[in-house]
Amino acid sequence: MNDKSKTKTLFNTLIKKATLKQNVYKNTLESLQMLKAGMEELVARYNALESEEAKKIPFVFRDRSEFEAELKFAGDTLVFMMHTNVFEMPRNHEVMKTPYVKEDIDRSYCGIINIFNFLSDSFKYNRLNDIGYLIGRIFINKDMHYFIEGKREIGFLYKSFANAKMTKESALEIIESAVMYTINFDLLTPPYDNIKEVTVQEFRAALDPMQIKTGKRLGFKFQADSD
């Protein structure tokens, strides 16, 4: 192969890979838009409830940015955050063994939308030490197919990469599953030994804003719960 042929092959490879990643990025962004629309629809349905109890409990959607959306309900907040990069699935991942991916390896390139669960009070009172939990990750490929890695209600329902296509209906179903998981993911009292001692400096710092670490489970920020 001469130099011109090598250069042509290089450029063709570059264009093919970049075009693939652009398509995946576009599909992931479109999927986030569907999720945002699903949150707005869910909020509208909630606001239509003729219930005095419902009026006392917040259920609010907030479009935080092009790549981020927030759904606040009762004492919880779900944050849907799109990563701006495209990733290839690891070779040892289960989806790499499926006929769907083996038939076309380009299907293994995915964009990611992370779903985090926070306590609403963490934002309200600016409690920077509080803990958020990654409860699910949505992977979207060039065919607009998706699968989810997640906890309980979220992860168990969306295993078929070959058949699951992102639509307005599936986006709404994902949101409802994330909300249901969050509702059932209760706040636990932290172990007594973790908070029985506090320095004067820590106590004063805890007054404004409150700095005592709070989370549904104790652990690192943005951790995946082990349950």
The answer, yes or no, to whether the previous bond of 90 is cis (omega within 30 of 0) is no
pLDDT, residue 218, reads 40
Among residues 130, 128, 133, 129, which one has the least CA distance to residue 115?
A: 133
Q: Which tens digits make up the pLDDT trace of 161-187? A: 999 999 999 999 999 999 999 998 776
**Domain containing residue 170:** 3-207
Is residue 219 domain-resident? no
Q: Each residue of 31-46: b (16+ CB within 10 Å) or e?
A: bbbbbbbbbeebbeeb
What is the overall mean pLDDT for the chain? 85
Per the CB < 8 A criterion, the answer to whether 193 and 184 are in contact is: no
Is residue 66 domain-resident? yes
CA angle at residue 69 from 66 to 73, to 5 degrees? 165
d(CA 29, CA 138): 12
Is residue 222 domain-resident? no
Is residue 111 domain-resident? yes
pLDDT, residue 12, reads 95
Is residue 226 domain-resident? no
Is residue 212 domain-resident? no
Is residue 105 domain-resident? yes
Percent of the chain past pLDDT 70, that is, above it, reads: 78
**Please, is 138 exposed, middle or buried when counting C-beta atoms within 10 Å of its C-beta (0-12, 13-18, 19+)?**
buried
pTM reported for the whole predicted model: 0.83
In Å, how far are 44, 57, 58 from 50, measured between CA atoms?
Answer: 12, 13, 14
> Which residues pair with residue 87 across a beta bridge?
110
Among residues 150, 149, 144, 148, which one has the least CA distance to residue 168?
A: 144
Is residue 157 domain-resident? yes
Number of domains in the chain: 1
pLDDT band at 222 (very low <50, low <70, confident <90, very high): very low
- How many CB atoms are located within 10 Å of the residue 56 CB? 7
Q: Which tens digits make up the pLDDT trace of 101-136? A: 999 999 999 999 999 999 998 888 887 778 888 999
- How many CB atoms are located within 10 Å of the residue 205 CB? 15
194 has pLDDT over 70:
no
**Please, is 87 exposed, middle or buried when counting C-beta atoms within 10 Å of its C-beta (0-12, 13-18, 19+)?**
middle
d(CA 167, CA 145): 9
